[in-house]
Amino acid sequence: MLNNKIPPLVVVLFFALIMALIAHYSVIDFSAFILYLTVSLVTIGCVFCIAGLVSFRLANTTVNPSKPEQATNLVTSGVYRFSRNPMYVGFVFILLGWGIWLSSLWALLCVAGFIAYLTLFQIIPEERALTQLFGEDYIQYKNKVKRWL
């Protein structure tokens, strides 16, 4: 014999009403959270970009991504111990922050497109050029440090 005397449909309607009342009187404003998350992601992105740029400048090598063959030194220290492409990682964080700010899942999916495009048309060609320039040193570096993170 069932202990429940109230039909499940009535229970569902009761809880739906309670939920509606709670939602109506306790609206959670996510705008502050979105702002803080956006600022955090963009800040992290900027730190990665600046750290990569500073590492290149300290090594006295080119930062021009369209001419990797002009690199004079293989940079493996600083932020380059964690990522072979910290400036691109920084761009990803900045785009993630922008997508969060826009509050759009579709916009956030574009970050995956950015990563795919950059990997195929920028990073892989850069890696070929750096392998030609630095040979075994670059190959060993590639084996130790991930492309992204």
Q: Give residue for tokens 């070929």.
A: 128
SS3 of residue 149 by DSSP: coil
H runs (alpha helix) in the chain: 8-25, 31-58, 86-102, 105-118, 124-134, 136-144
Q: What digits encode the pLDDT tens for the residues 34-43?
A: 999 999 999 9
pLDDT-derived band at 4 (thresholds 50, 70, 90) equals low
What average pLDDT score do residues 104-115 get? 94
Evaluate whether 126 touches 142 at the Cβ level (below 8 Å). no
pLDDT-derived band at 69 (thresholds 50, 70, 90) equals confident
Q: What digits encode the pLDDT tens for the residues 111-142?
A: 999 999 999 999 999 999 999 999 999 999 99
pLDDT at site 1: 52
